[in-house]
Amino acid sequence: MISDRLRQIRIGAGLSQIAMAKALNVTQGAISQWERGTVVPDIITLLRIATMFAVALDDLLEEERRQLPGNELSQSVLPDSLVKSAVFGGQEASDAQFNEVRMYARWILDRDRETQKGP
C-alpha cells in the first residue's frame, strides 16, 4: 500500500514524520494519516514526495499496481480527472494535451532512473 511505501521511504531516508512534514510544508498529522492509510496524498503531493526522495511515482504506487488486474495502473488508482485537475489547475484540457503531459512525465521518470543508475 502507499501508506507502507511512504513509511518505508521516510524511515529509509532517516527522517522523522516531523522533518518530512516540514520539508513538504504539511502537518505531521498529515504524514501520520498517510502512513496509517486513512488518507491518501493528492497527486501533486505524491509527485513532490517522489521528487523529494528521488524515486519514481511508480515506485510509490508499486503495491497498488501489483493488486490491479493486468498489473497496470488504472483509473482506480489515479483517475485521469484528478490528474487533469492537478496538472491543468481545473481548466479544461484536451486528451491530446493530457497525453502529452503523460509522455513528458514518463520521459522525466525514465531520465531520472538512468541518472540514478550512473555510468
pLDDT value at residue 35: 93
What does pTM read for this prediction?
0.54
Question: Taking the CB of residue 75, how many other CB atoms lie within 10 A of it?
Answer: 10
Each residue's pLDDT tens digit, 12-35: 889 999 999 999 999 999 999 999
pLDDT digits (tens, 9 = 90+) for 61-96: 765 444 444 434 433 345 565 566 566 666 677 777
> 3-state DSSP call for residue 114?
helix
- Domains annotated for the chain, with CATH where assigned, are 2-117 (1.10.260.40)
Structure confidence at residue 62 (pLDDT):
64
Asked if residue 43 has pLDDT above 60, the reply is yes
Q: 76: which DSSP letter? A: T
HSE of 9, CA atoms in CB hemisphere, 13 A: 24
- Return the higher-pLDDT residue of 50 and 100: 50
Q: Which of 61, 49, 50 is nearest to 109 (CA)?
A: 50
Least confident range from 39-43, 47-51, 55-59: namely 55-59
Containing 28, the helix (H) or strand (E) segment is: helix 28-36
